[in-house]
């Protein structure tokens, strides 16, 4: 019973704290950006927890899902509370995320190409003159 009360109280305090943190800024785009912090945090925890256990393709899929979920939630908030306010270029954060995703895909493709070349070298017999 005591644990239930503590967890319920902690959850309430965290929720109210997050709500106040989102509402405090005067700029609407800042409010929208802060509203996505919960989704970003969940995505980061899942990614960090599962990272050692998954392949690089799955890591890219997790990053893609996290970005899409956060952007979808922020779009919902913008639509519901700010009548479709467009903050896509605000602080350049979305462009940064897209560039990060491109770099990760390129590095995964490079790693895959390098491992394929290593496999070919291992399969080729050494020729002695």
Number of alpha carbons in the 13 Å side-chain half-sphere of residue 60: 15
| pLDDT for residue 125 | 55
Task: Return contacts of 110-118, CB within 8 angstroms, 24+ apart.
Answer: 111/56, 112/56
What's the pTM value of the predicted model, to 2 decimals? 0.62
Query: What contacts 77, CB < 8 A, 6 or more positions away?
Result: 31, 32, 35, 36
Residue 62 near residue 46 (C-beta atoms within 8 A): yes
Sequential pLDDT tens for the chain (129 residues): 788 888 888 889 988 998 888 888 888 888 888 888 888 888 888 888 988 888 888 888 888 888 888 888 888 888 888 886 677 665 545 656 666 777 677 777 776 665 555 555 555 555 555
Residue 78 near residue 32 (C-beta atoms within 8 A): yes
| pLDDT for residue 118 | 57
**CA distances in angstroms from 83 to 8, 38, 89, 125, listed in the order given:** 33, 22, 17, 66
| pLDDT for residue 13 | 92
């Amino acid at each position: 019973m005591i644990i239930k009360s503590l967890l319920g109280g902690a959850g309430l305090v965290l929720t109210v704290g997050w709500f106040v943190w989102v509402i405090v800024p005067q700029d609407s785009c800042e409010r929208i950006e802060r509203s996505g912090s919960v989704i970003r945090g969940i995505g980061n925890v899942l990614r960090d927890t599962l990272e050692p256990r998954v392949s690089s393709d799955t890591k890219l899929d997790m990053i893609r899902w996290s970005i899409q979920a956060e952007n979808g939630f922020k779009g919902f908030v913008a639509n519901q509370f700010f009548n479709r306010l467009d903050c896509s270029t605000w602080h350049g954060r979305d462009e940064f995320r897209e560039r990060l995703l491109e770099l990760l895909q390129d590095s995964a493709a490079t790693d895959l190409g390098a491992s394929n070349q290593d496999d070919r070298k291992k399969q080729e017999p050494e020729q002695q003159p």
